[in-house]
Amino acid sequence: MATQVILTEAISSLGAEADIVKVRPGYARNFLIPHGKALEVTPVSLRKVNQLKAKRAEREARELNEAEGLASKINKLRLTMKLETGMAGKAFGSITAADLMELMLAELEGVELPRHAIILERPIKESGKKTIQVRLHPEVTATLHVTIAADPKAGEVLVEEDGEE
Residue range 3-65 in CATH 3.40.190.10: no
Can you name the residues that pair with 40 across neighbouring β-strands?
5
pLDDT of residue 155: 41
pLDDT, residue 89, reads 67
What residues in the chain have per-residue pLDDT under 50?
154-165
Query: Half-sphere exposure of 117 toward its Cβ, with a 13 Å CA cutoff?
Result: 25
Q: What are phi and psi of 21, to 5 degrees?
A: -125, 160
Q: How many CA atoms lie within 13 A of 161 on its CB side?
A: 1
Taking the C-alpha atoms of residue 57 and residue 70, their distance in angstroms, rounded to an integer, is: 20
pTM for the model stands at 0.65
* CA–CA gap between residue 22 and residue 121 (Å, rounded): 36
**What confidence score (pLDDT) does residue 158 get?**
40
- CATH class of this structure's domain 77-155: alpha beta
> What ranges do the domains of the chain cover?
3-65, 77-155
Name the residue type at position 43.
P
